[in-house]
A and B are shown apart, each in its own frame.
Chain A
Amino acid sequence: MSTARHNLISAPGVETHQVEAVNDATQRKLYKKREQIYPKLVHGKFRFAKWVFMLLALGAYYFIPFLRWDRGASAPDQAVLIDFEGRRFYFFFIEIWPQEIYYVSGLLIIAALALFLVSALFGRVWCGYACPQTVWTDLFIAVERIFEGDRNKRIKLDRAKWSFNKAWRKTGKHAVWLLIAGATGGAWILYFHDAYDTLSHFFTGGSPMSAYLFFGVLTFTTYTLAGTMREQVCTYMCPWPRIQAAMTDRDALNVAYRVDRGEPRGPHKKGESWDGRGDCIDCKACVVACPMGIDIRNGSQLECIQCALCIDACDDIMKKVDRPTGLISYDTDINIDRRQAGLAPVYKFLRPRVLVYAVSLAIAGSIMLFGLTTRASLDVNVTRDRNPNFVTLSDGSVRNGYTLKIINRTHDDLEYTVEIDGPDGLEWRILGQEATRGLTVDVPAERTQDFRLFLTVPRDTITTSNESVVFTVSPQGSDETRTAETVFLSGGPR
């Protein structure tokens, strides 16, 4: 039966596929087993873009841990490092301490806003090109093609009885998948410890248990998610499509079948006129190309990850049948409607939504940049003893205890001058260090150091039960100062 239809198609090399979309919403039963999807390899500009993006993404992922960034002798020189033991997060020139976790929030907010912005402009581009699930699945499918051939061959191989040929192809595929998965899990742990050290210790069993654990978990998840689960992750597991749907609107560019041009569809014989019919020759090249197993001609669907492979597939067909390309194309919902109504398409990129996202992104970015460039290298905290709140000494004077915490974020050991401004007659000393007013303390590079201080006020100068005390700390030879304000409690004059 297929041969009969074949003849109807107008150009050499055009093949009609006898398929139903696997994830066709109109056909979908309430209870259905998963049907394997065999995406066919396409060629074209989007496929090329995806190869390039895949190379960049994988390259970045595997290569970044090996980048170095000189921070001086006291800090690690890995450009991107999440150092849990040292409780630091290094990201090129950014260095985040536990107290500054808001920078991480800042980075996440910026990432989210950027995602909102591109979603508003180009729909689900993240899904199609940048999402790790997409990138690794694409890679795994490429490996699958090397071992088992393209769509038809794969289908045949899967239906065939077990033979040596089938066995080695399957084994080879899974072996390479595991290798990639292992490399993925392996590269992950390089972000948490010095990459070169980890690499040399990993294979000799010298890495910490957690490294092997994460290696195992990520190898397993990469293998199952990208190898065996694939489109099910996007369709059933990922919450993002649902969220993203709220970010795009009818003006966003999305992969779309131009119904106005394609319909009525049907086979086309060479030499026949194109008048009175649509450009779609119902070859289903777009359906077999789709890694999500859907038919884009049914309109935009939840499953679609906007990978644009159907565009490449159809453009190829259009060239062969001598029709203009772009039957499936990036387009907006509004324009599809307008075309159907016979109106000229309009592209409105500057919409309130886009502006709001762009402006928010700019604001968040500037705040972050401002915060990072003016980031203090010194932080001072004072906590007052609460138990007891104050101590009466034998001569009637009152003493309060404080813990002064100085954070030295520079890469040098520094000496700090501490000055204390408080009630009249204030005397102070620091535990383990005899001192008078204007004392100095040492804090090593990149350290937080605690000092215990006792402040004493003579009884007769006490006028209120609660007086303010200000600690001023400054590194020697610098005019940067930090102050911390607290109180001196005394129970009031007697």
Chain B
Amino acid sequence: MSEKHIDEETGTETTGHEWDGIRELDNPLPRWWLWIFYASIAWSVVYWVLMPAWPAPPGMQGHTTGVVGNSERVNVANDLNALQASRADFFTRLEAADGYGAIESDPALFRFALAAGESTFGNFCSTCHGAGAQGFVGYPNLNDDVWLWGGSFEDIRHTLVVGIRSDHPETRFSQMPAYGADGLLSREEIRHVRDYVLSLSGETGFDAAALDAGGAVFANQCATCHGDNGMGDQSQGAPNLTDAVWLYGSSPEEIENTIWRGPYGVMPAWEGRLNDPTITALATYVYSLGGGEAAAEAEGAAGE
């Protein structure tokens, strides 16, 4: 031990260490600090008694439970229940609502449905359809007014419930043959019908000489689903080939490729994963994106 040393200036003993002539005063800890320290220790004992604190054998739930019986797990469950309860009224109203019009005419309910639908969309749908529902190649843009299986509120809702080519027993299902891959058409026939399809929608870049041959192939192979004039059929999810919107791309190569392989897009069924009012809210949100069709229009199938 070094020698006892008293600092002249303060009259305080130093710790005895010296670094380049600098010594450290051996001041006691401030009393207020010590009291807080003791109080903390005392408090920790109180805390052990009150709150879950110590590991314990599995027979005792794996930890001491504390006199207060606090459990974050239970708290979270309670919070969730409270949240559910606070939404219960809206959910009942959503369940009872008869169609989009009924929801829209109730401003508070409409606002709730849009908010709930948007957050559900963000959780479950944006992976495929994009955060703004803008879609990607092969994943429909839900903002536009093109609907393979119908864009009325009821149609959208039904699609959400059963999915498309999903494992739901009543799923919406249709299949376009892989004309090239399965050898149903020759490469040349596919090119002809590709040019024909291009001409249907007013796109450019097709070979006018191929149109007759293409038309013949179309009438044989495609018209059953897409209709004689290529207007599509929502009852079997066959796209309208005359509009400006293309799910798999509008370039000659992309169309050729689509015919070659026969697309087979899948959307999961949400029944059983989302509850009924949530699906309604989701449908409300998707419908409100601006492309929704009026119910009557969808029924009058022939359409304008």
Where the two chains meet, the residues of A that have a C-beta atom closer than 8 Å to any C-beta of B are 29-31, 385-388, 391-396, 399, 401, 431-432, 452, 454, 459
What are the 5 A-B residue pairs with the smallest beta carbon separation, nearest first?
A: A387-B132, A388-B134, A394-B243, A396-B244, A391-B143
Q: How far is the CA of A312 from the CA of B141 in the complex (A)?
A: 83
Residues from chain B with Cβ under 8 Å of A432 in the complex: 104, 107, 110, 288
B265 within 8 A of A: no
Residues of A within 8 A of B220 (CB): none
Chain B contact residues (Cβ within 8 angstroms of A): what range? Answer: 20 to 34
Q: Is B144 an interface residue (CB 8 A)?
A: yes
Cβ-defined contact, A31 with B290, below 8 A: no
Q: Is the CB of B143 within 8 A of A401?
A: yes
**Which of B12, B240, B291 has the most chain A CB atoms inside 10 A of its CB?**
B291
Q: Looking at the complex, which one of A387, A393, A431 makes contact with B244 (CB distance below 8 Å)?
A: A393
**Contact across chains for B9 and A394 when beta carbons are under 8 A apart:** no
A151 to B9, CA, bound (A): 32
Q: What residues of A have a CB within 8 angstroms of the CB of B110 in the complex?
A: 432
Q: A387-B130, A391-B290, A394-B243 are in contact. Are A30 and B10 (CB under 8 A)?
A: yes
Does B247 make an interface contact (CB < 8 A)?
no
In the complex, A470 Cα to B240 Cα: how many Å? 35
Chain A CB within 10 A, most for which of B104, B240, B244: B244
Q: Mark B190-206, 1 if CB is under 8 A from A, else 0.
A: 00000000000000000
A204: shortest Cβ distance to chain B, in Å? Answer: 25
Closest A residue, CB atoms, query B135: A388
> Quick one: given A30-B9, A31-B10, A387-B132, are A394 and B288 in contact (CB under 8 Å)?
no
In the complex, A393→B142 CA distance in Å? 11
Q: Which residues of B contact A401 (CB under 8 A)?
A: 143, 289-290
Q: Is B131 an interface residue (CB 8 A)?
A: yes
| Known A401-B143, A401-B290, A432-B110: A394·B244 in contact at CB below 8 Å | yes
Contact among A386, A387, A391 for B144, CB-based, below 8 A: A391
A391/B141 in contact, CB under 8 A: yes
A-B contact pairs, 24 of them (CB 8 A): A30-B9, A31-B10, A387-B130, A387-B132, A387-B134, A388-B130, A388-B134, A388-B141, A388-B143, A391-B143, A392-B144, A393-B144, A393-B146, A393-B244, A393-B291, A394-B144, A394-B146, A394-B240, A395-B244, A401-B143, A431-B290, A432-B110, A454-B290, A459-B244
Residue contact B132 to A388, C-beta cutoff 8 Å: yes
Q: Which of B12, B132, B141, B288 contacts A385 (CB 8 A)?
A: B132
Interface contact A386-B104, CB-CB below 8 Å: no
Q: Is there a chain A Cβ closer than 8 Å to B245's Cβ?
A: yes
CA distance A31 to B25 in the complex (A): 11
User: How far is the CB of B297 from the nearest CB of chain A, in Å?
Assistant: 13
**Measured CA separation A401–B10 after assembly (Å):** 75
Chain B residue at smallest Cβ distance from A391 = B143
Which chain B positions have C-beta within 8 A of A454?
Answer: 290
Residues of chain A with a CB closer than 8 A to B146's CB: 393-394
Most buried by B among A29, A392, A396: A392
B95 at the interface (CB under 8 A from A): no
In Å, the complex CA distance between A432 and B12 comes to 80
* Per-residue interface assignment for chain B, residues 5 to 17, with 1 indicating a CB less than 8 Å from any chain A CB and 0 otherwise: 0000110100000
